[in-house]
Structure 1
Amino acid sequence: MKFGIAKKVVLLFVLSVAILGVALGTYFVKHEEKALLLELNERANALLGSLAKSSEYPVLLKDKEMLSSIATGVLNQKDVIFCQIKDSRGEVLFEEGRREEENVEKYAASILSEKLETEELVLGASKENLEEIGQVYLILSLNRMKAQLKQAGKTTGLIIALSLLLASLFIALLIRYLLGEPIKQLVLGTEMVAKGNLNYEVPVKTRDEIGELAASFNKMAEDLLLSTAEKEKMQQELQKAWQIESIGLLAAGIAHDFNNILSAILLNAQMARMQKDKDIEKFLDGIEKATYRATGLTKQLLTFSKGGVPIKEAVSVSKLLKETTEFALHGSNAGCKFSIDDDLFPIEADRTQISQVINNLVINAVQAMPEGGIIEIKAENLILGKSQGLPLKEGKYIKVSVKDSGIGIPKEELAKVFDPYWTTKHKGNGLGLTTVYSIIKRHNGHITLDSELGAGTTFHIYLPAPETKMSIEKDEAEQILKGEGRILLVDDEEDILESAGGALRELGYEAETAKDGDEAISLYVQARKPFDLVIMDLTIPGRMGGKAAIKKLLEIDPRAKAIVSSGYSNDPIMADFAKYGFCGVLHKPYKIGEMSRVLHKILES
């Protein structure tokens, strides 16, 4: 096996950390030993001083009983294993304990008394008037201290080992990310270019020398590829598409988490509405409308992911233009002028995604006119032929134009308008027009712009219209169906368990909850009364999710019925749920009515 640069760096780091850890551990243990020994000496000297002072009169009086009482108290102190008291002639007045020679510290002190010039004892005498009348001896065991040092050594060693392990793991991952993977990508890049694949691009993830090398390599490959103007234009389109795809994973994750939050809000609002309190109806309307709007935004995030294919239906662009523009202009100082063909073609599109396109373009126009102004929105039918100069197939289209009278965009910046994070606004995030570009491309359409500094900007959108006539269906009132049965709800979000569980009970069902697949399987097996249906969250980070749980559940009970639910609405399992063993699907955030109809359909089948 080849020992690469990354492994060498990791090994060098591990050895350095190990040496440093051993040195620090040794220093710590030695320091602790000195501290414990100092504490022992201080305590021993204090005991000696107290014992010598207390023994003065009993020694003078040869009172062995009093000396025994005093010395016994000292022997009861921790670590003291031997005590001896002698008079000035060496006669032992008290001795008790074990006189050991190993792992001990020995201490001795003189018993002093004032020299007697009279028969009386004088207190508070100076040192010059003191004479030695005896000695006290103490032996203290070091066993407890050594046990403490041993434990400290073990603890220190464990900490060092764990720190070394964690540090090694961290640095290994870091080096792999910063050094190993970029070098592998560079090697792969050279191999791909050598084989003639000039479209291959090495990802530039860092700003260090390796990142610069990767960037230089990409530039070299790009220069080889861009030999003609047509190839240069093609490369720009590929680069733009790659940049948009690069944020797909992040967008899908945010949409999933946001949909979980919206599910709890929507279900709670609809349960409150079911209480028939007219005083709060208008507030609930506002909550639900805002939730539906936010739901639409999460769908736009999913357009960045590979699975973000539009869910198409017949759409009246005329109505959608007016509704979305009215919402986008709310609270602004801009107005709008519409010019829409009366017989505008209906199109097949994702209503929410096209609404987001209009919303982003209108907001962009408002922000381009800080002093206010009129936004001109035009929608017209268009029949494209071969010589139209657009990268679109021949056929029927609608063309939507959004024009502002703002500050315009410099010519040198026009090519960057649809790039992620490009913006001219101080507080902008640079994703609005990127979203627009992504959505239009996914609808097999095209977007262009005209701009002039000081005169404003116009965006032109081309969307294909079906050759056959389409009918626009009107929305029907939501129907809520109540039912009976035991439902097991599985989700890792506490808010979902509470809100969806409450909604199930409101619909007449018995509901139990579980936070992951393992807990759900356990509850299902142990249930005295069997569950009629299980609602499973598809994705539970770090634990068993719906895909693995349904497989285990069907092994236990082949007749089990389950619904899959997720904020990842474009996950392949959500689109083809029956293939994985599910009986139905609920896209988060879902309404109570939608939940009731899915449950009723499955339980009644």
Structure 2
Amino acid sequence: MGLAILALSTLIQFSAAGLAVVLNRKAGRVGAFRVVVGALILMGIRRAIALGGALAPGGGASDGVGESVGLLTSCLALAGVCLTRGLFDHLARLRADSQAEAARRQRAEADSGIFRRKAEEATARLRESELQLRFVSDNLPGGMVYQIDSGSDGRERRFTYVSAGVRQLHELSVEEAYADPLRVYGQVCEEDRRLVAERERAAIRAMAPFAAEVQVNLPSGGTRSRLFASAPRRLSNGHLVWDGIELDITERRTAEEERQRIRTLEGLGTVAGGVAHDFNNLLTGVFGNIELAKLELPPDHPALASLTAAHQAMENARHLTTRLLTFAKGGHPVLQTVDIRRVIRDTVAFDLAGTPVAAHVDLADDLWPVKADAGQLAQVVSNLTINAKEAMPGGGNLHVRAENAHDTVGMAGPEHRGRFVKVTFRDEGVGIPPPAVERIFEPYFTTKETGNGLGLAITHRIVTRHGGHIFVNSTPDVGTVFTVFLPAAEGATEPSQSLGGLGCPEEPPRPSGHVLLMDDEEVVRAAASRMLEQTGCTAETVANGREAVRRYSAAMRDGGRFDVVILDLTVRGGMGGKETARELLAADPGATIIVSSGYASDSVLADPAAYGFAGGLVKPFQLRELEATLARAMQTRRCAAAGRTVSG
């Protein structure tokens, strides 16, 4: 009996120890409970040793009472372990919760680190964007970026951002703009402020951007053009803000105005060309009739003086039309050998007539002739004379000197060598400010309150187109000197190029022969036919190119060949001079054809030979010009027929 109790007690003791081990693992191996587990295992071992001794051969009889007490102790130990199971479950839950909380906290800390890094990265990107915005806006050429808070009612004006460009655009510091925005907007001229206000109201109604071009008056006294471009938006607090940009558009507007002036001048050129052409046709009739009337009157006739004065007035009118064409078109110079002395005397006297400016003209006796367009040369002299006159509104002296020169030594810029006629215009006027001297020949640049800035620009263009040079030297309050160098006519010093050197008479004989004149103006045909008769020629006239071809062809068939054909270059609604000349030369390569036109700037008149013509007449032409051109053309034909070449 005692042995059975001992065995049962041992089994119970080990069961209690095993259960205690399991519970302790579940609870997370509580340190204090490990002692209990150890004690239970030792007690079980002790029971097992006692059981082994009892079972061994020769073992003593067990103590029944002692074994019963041991059994009771084992039962109590097992019961105690079972009773603590709930505690161990609670501990297990606490452990699990603790682990879950630890894991949550770990995840939270990890998430917090990610969020922190992302926030730091976002902050860094935002800071970089702000720096980039400020860098770009502060370095925006000719512009500034701004943001304005207008309050909830849109009536306030407070800068919340303004770039450094405010200093360039408004001559204010950023701090001054922040302190008082009205110092910026107060610079906008009053009329444009109303325009901006209207655009802003419309932009608020549509919540859309607006743009306005305005004029601002700077503190330094200058006036500049600006472009405001801004867009409204509402903040969460209800405030209306404007995000905008302001640009300096002064240069752009100036360029646009210049392009408009150029377009206007181009339109003027078209009109001026037509007017000058028609006017020159009329002048041709007037010139011809005045000259014919003078020839028909005896030398002592009282009307002769009046006709001479009218003839001089027509000469001035011809110069005016030439200037008009050059102003509008800038045309090609029609080069002829010109006695510059007469051009200077007549033009200076005409432009200073009735003014308080006295002219002192000194022209060398041995002055070389120049190869030039007489009309354009007169315009150069006129522009420089008028410029001097305007520099001396209260009167003064204009000294004009012309002499021969072999170089441009003493002038600013590169030195030029050659045979020149040097013409100097020296006034005693107010002078030109030094910064303006370098720009004095620029189109539209002027230092005068009145004027368009084209006179000296056209003068420069004409001189350079003639292969010449022009220089300016000015001292404020002392006066200005313009010096013009024009190439001398080579023919004046090269006998090998003369007609006499080629076996033809040095002076062409008086023209004679049969002339066919084509012009679409009746007044020109009537006057020119009488002028031709005065030169010793017979004339037939037609109104257009097609009729001229038919008349010339008929004369060739009948054996009555025309000696010279004079063709008007431009015929309204009909075949003009170039087309007519091509057909005539195709039918008769030996035809002698002279071109005539009221468009003095036409390239055909600048080089008639390139288009098959033997010479050119610029309308309005005078009797001596007509006679000289006819004689030259006829002599050229005779010399060519004899196998010689004549330089024109």
- So what's the TM-score if we normalise by structure 2? 0.45
- Identify which of structures 1 and 2 has the higher relative contact order when contacts are C-alpha pairs closer than 8 Å and 6+ apart: 1
TM-score (normalizing by structure 1): 0.48
Larger Rg: 2
